[in-house]
Structure 1
Amino acid sequence: MITNVTIVDVENLSQLDDMTIIIENDKIKSIQQSDIANVSSVGQTINLKRHYVVPGLIDSHVHLFRPKNRNKILNQLLYSGITTVRDMGGDARIYQSLNKEIKQGTLLGPDIYYSANVFGPKFLKDPRTKFANMGYEPGTAPWMRLIENTSDIEKIVSEAKEAGVTGLKVYSNISPELLSKISSVAHKNALKMWSHSSIFPSKPSDAVNAQIDVLSHSVGMIFEKESNMPDSFNEAIRNSLPSQDFKNTTANDSEFIELFHKMKSKDIIFEPTLSAWSLKLRPRKAKTENNSESDNPTKHLSIAGSKMDVASMDNWAQRITTEAYKNGVTIAAGTDLNQNIKWVQDEVKLLTECGFSNIEAIKAATLNNAKVIGIDNMYGSISEGKVANLLVLSENPLDEIENIRTVVSVFKNGIEYKK
């Protein structure tokens, strides 16, 4: 029993004072007012008077394939209050192994839900299609798959599902017509459809029309107004993205408003990944050493980055996210964690700077992210019958969003982790 706590109720966007949460095994058995709680069968009591409980945090966008210290990162994420992550591209065998260790208790970290990347032939030039395919020809691994108009999509989706993925991430060089076919087959096989906001040559509206479940990256939304879409992600990064007028494009132009209305009507979630562009979170100097194509699969990003007005891109990311929020689009909180650790707590704070209330920003990193993965029936909020993933704080995050870092302890699957 956790008693005398204040619960942050993200389902109803409210604060519940002086509550008692009874946990049995890994589930929340009951939630009651502390003064009338039935505690006759309770074996252990934890009195947390003047403490605050929010749902376990979820980061809906990480890449755990590249970091060599990923076990340490996973441990740090858990103790900060992140109990679940969605990995958006890498070798499924690594995630299977990590999840096995986490389940056995030999590794402490959040549960990992992961994707299979699918892409067109032009993306085969990207070295990431080789690094995550060890033992396979590039484009043939079930989790890193080339798809063309002549491909057996049913077979590709089936093999991805057998690899344990929760969804497909559509990456690059996929036409609107092929995108719709892939989406239809994936949904028929109970897999989620995730994509970048622009898939090249497909625009954000093409992804929406194909019923993609989640669109990632606020920066890519600007291509909704592009009349000459590049064919691939790499081409867009090298040439098209640096030439976009982020500074003077208006986020409430009719093209974007129409797009947001469609997203809202189709229950499509937007994950802006503000952390990826925030000047506040960027190192002062980008590392350039050991930047050869052979050992750095994102060299093209570094080269393109030198041409970009990052300040204007950061400002655009905030403005387009604010506009999506104002037009009723469900927003998810993801960091795009790649080589170095990032914190979804930072993403939550950035959302408050886009006009979100503190509790709405917390909801983006809990219940909304559970919806992204498709696990909101059992995760993402503090409700009877749901899994007991909880974050205990010493200060109220509804008063000050930075208080989400005042961690006292973390419960994952009903087990307490306390430094």
Structure 2
Amino acid sequence: MTLSARNRPFRIALLSLALLSLVGAAPPPANADEALSLYADATVIDGTGAPPRAHQDILVRGQRIVAVAPHGTIAQAEGAKRIDLSGRFVMPGLIDTHVHLATPPDDARARAILRRNLYGGVTAVRDMADDVRPVAELGRAALAGEIAAPDIYYTALMAGPPFFQDPRVLAVTLGVTPGKAPWMQAIDDRTDLRTAVTLARGTSATAIKIYADLPPRLVKAITAEAHRQNIPVWAHSAVFPTRPADVIAAGADTVSHVCYLAYQVEPVMLAAYEDRTPVNEALLAPEGDDPVIAGLYRAMLKRGTILDATGSLFVRYDKARQQHPEKRRLRCSGAATTRLTRQAWKAGVPISTGTDFVRGYRSDWPDVHEELFFLARDVGMPPLAVIRSATLVGAQAAGQAAEMGSIEPGKLANFLVLAADPAADIGNIRTIETVVKRGRAYPRGDYRPTTKAEMGDGDDD
């Protein structure tokens, strides 16, 4: 019996996916660390937005939280290693929902970024389109504890054929015809979407990213097929020429870049992603909430769509342009980006903390701290709301809320030990004493700063 030419690619992709699933389902090693640790007498900020709880104990067995209860009341704690946290504050690990670790691939740089992230409190990241070959290996090494790094959840990208003339694509699909790699596929009306999504899943990607240069009908069709195959869709909030309203209506689980939502007010949508014409901000309401944007936020609330705002990128870029006015404008000003994010927060839209930039080697802290500061200081969100965005909402955006994002029994032991209260001042996020990721402690004092040899010189926006 022979495979038909029509079905052969699909069946091969399905077999590859099945083999990968078997590998991924391998049981943990028999010698997995199941030691008990009791983090005693801390003030716990659990990530849900609830008020801090003083004098709490957290019992950890191996990689997971077993119990959280008032100090001295956990019966199972007998024999546990005790870590006294009196006077300390504990909150969930941070999640950066928008990073790029391998465009182009550079192993030393990626490892340096990941090290800085972990020791600065980031216990998970969403990689939003890269060469997944090195990213998958970094993710494996992070899970195994072989490198100091957050857990990595990465995407397989889909875009229209014009996008694959971008030089960045050549760097992340080396050895494969651009648009043909399973992790970076060119999509048009001739594409068998069932096969395309299956190939994407075969890369072990967490989600499909819908990136650019696709009409509304294909954005909708990709999303529907991805969801049929039980894989989330993370999309740009405008896919050019697809308007934000159509991206949201298609059912994307998360949308990135609050700035792009403003293209909904344009009378004529940009025909292609490659057209970098900025938003005409004069079309937004001169003050107060913009009614067109309000309609988008109502639709997002109805569908449960998460906004990966990346606001600090635009604010910091505006500041850089003040010193270097020759730099080209981004699609939105920092002021418009702040205003759009504030309207989203007031409307109740869940906002995660993504960055989409990398600061140079001289920085000692993760880039996502800047997004927390943006939400608190520019947008005006209370610290507890910012913490929820950076933890529980981030876990929801990554599709990992059952495993992380809040401090509660059954979830991974991913949390930060701080010397000062981040619920009083979000700046206290930088009083980290220890990061615990999957039950393993990483003292801040052990952090080895990034170097020019690892990172190169300058920032990457």
Task: State TM-score, norm by structure 2.
Answer: 0.82
- The Cα shift of 1:9 comes to 2.1
Q: Hey, what's the Cα distance between the residues in 2 that align with 1:396 and 1:346?
A: 18
In the other structure, the counterpart of 2:451 is none
> Which ranges in structure 2 are unaligned for 5 or more consecutive residues?
1-37, 447-461
In the other structure, the counterpart of 1:361 is 386
AA aligned to 2:129 is G
In the other structure, the counterpart of 1:293 is none
In the other structure, the counterpart of 1:255 is 292
Residues 262/284 of structure 1: CA separation in 2 closer, same or farther (3 Å cut): closer
Q: Hey, what's the Cα distance between the residues in 2 that align with 1:98 and 1:29?
A: 28
Alignment pair present for 1:320 and 2:340: yes
In the other structure, the counterpart of 1:93 is 133
Q: Hey, what's the Cα distance between the residues in 1 that align with 2:170 and 2:144?
A: 31
Counterpart of 1:382 (choices 387, 401, 407) is: 407
Q: Hey, what's the Cα distance between the residues in 2 that align with 1:325 and 1:248?
A: 17
- The Cα shift of 1:260 comes to 0.6
Task: Note the alpha carbon deviations across 1:272-299, whole angstroms, 9 max, x for none.
Answer: 1012111389557899xxxxxxxxxxxx
AA aligned to 2:253 is D
SS of the equivalent of 2:55 reads: strand
Aligned pairs (5 A) from 1:12-51: 12-51=49-88
Tell which deviates more after alignment, 101-110 or 171-180. Answer: 101-110
Task: Note the alpha carbon deviations across 1:62-117, whole angstroms, 9 max, x for none.
Answer: 00113731111111110011010000011110111112222333211001100111
AA aligned to 1:362 is I
> Which ranges in structure 1 are unaligned for 5 or more consecutive residues?
288-301
Check the 8 A contact 1:275/1:336 in 2, yes or no. Answer: no
In the other structure, the counterpart of 1:344 is 368
AA aligned to 2:441 is E
AA aligned to 1:405 is R
Alignment pair present for 1:123 and 2:148: no
Counterpart of 1:265 (choices 294, 299, 302) is: 302
Q: Hey, what's the Cα distance between the residues in 1 that align with 2:239 and 2:420?
A: 42
SS of the equivalent of 2:270 reads: coil
Task: Note the alpha carbon deviations across 1:298-336, whole angstroms, 9 max, x for none.
Answer: xxxx99x52x288x7100011000001111111111011
Check the 8 A contact 2:278/2:330 in 1, yes or no. Answer: no
Residues 368/309 of structure 1: CA separation in 2 closer, same or farther (3 Å cut): closer
Alignment pair present for 1:393 and 2:418: yes
In the other structure, the counterpart of 1:165 is 205
In the other structure, the counterpart of 1:6 is 43
Tell which deviates more after alignment, 94-103 or 317-326. Answer: 94-103
CA RMSD of aligned residues (A): 2.2
Check the 8 A contact 2:114/2:149 in 1, yes or no. Answer: yes
Q: Hey, what's the Cα distance between the residues in 2 that align with 1:337 and 1:253?
A: 28
Task: Note the alpha carbon deviations across 1:235-285, whole angstroms, 9 max, x for none.
Answer: 1x1xx2265548875562221111111100110011110121113895578
In the other structure, the counterpart of 1:195 is 235
Q: Hey, what's the Cα distance between the residues in 2 that align with 1:248 and 1:264?
A: 21
- The Cα shift of 1:20 comes to 0.3
User: Once the two structures are aligned, what percentage of the paired residues are identical?
Assistant: 31
Higher relative contact order (CA 8 A, sep 6+): 1
SS of the equivalent of 2:307 reads: strand
Check the 8 A contact 1:251/1:320 in 2, yes or no. Answer: no
Check the 8 A contact 1:246/1:313 in 2, yes or no. Answer: no
Check the 8 A contact 2:59/2:77 in 1, yes or no. Answer: no
Counterpart of 2:186 (choices 146, 158, 178) is: 146
Check the 8 A contact 2:285/2:291 in 1, yes or no. Answer: no
- The Cα shift of 1:37 comes to 3.0
| Count of residues paired in the alignment | 399
Residues 119/147 of structure 1: CA separation in 2 closer, same or farther (3 Å cut): same
- The Cα shift of 1:42 comes to 3.2
SS of the equivalent of 2:56 reads: strand
Check the 8 A contact 2:251/2:303 in 1, yes or no. Answer: yes
Check the 8 A contact 1:21/1:31 in 2, yes or no. Answer: yes
Q: Hey, what's the Cα distance between the residues in 1 that align with 2:129 and 2:416?
A: 27
Alignment pair present for 1:213 and 2:250: no
- The Cα shift of 1:388 comes to 0.3
AA aligned to 1:392 is V
SS of the equivalent of 2:333 reads: helix
Q: Hey, what's the Cα distance between the residues in 2 that align with 1:33 and 1:63?
A: 40
Residues 309/98 of structure 1: CA separation in 2 closer, same or farther (3 Å cut): closer
- The Cα shift of 1:32 comes to 1.1
Alignment pair present for 1:73 and 2:80: no
Task: Note the alpha carbon deviations across 1:181-213, whole angstroms, 9 max, x for none.
Answer: 000001111111111111101111001100111
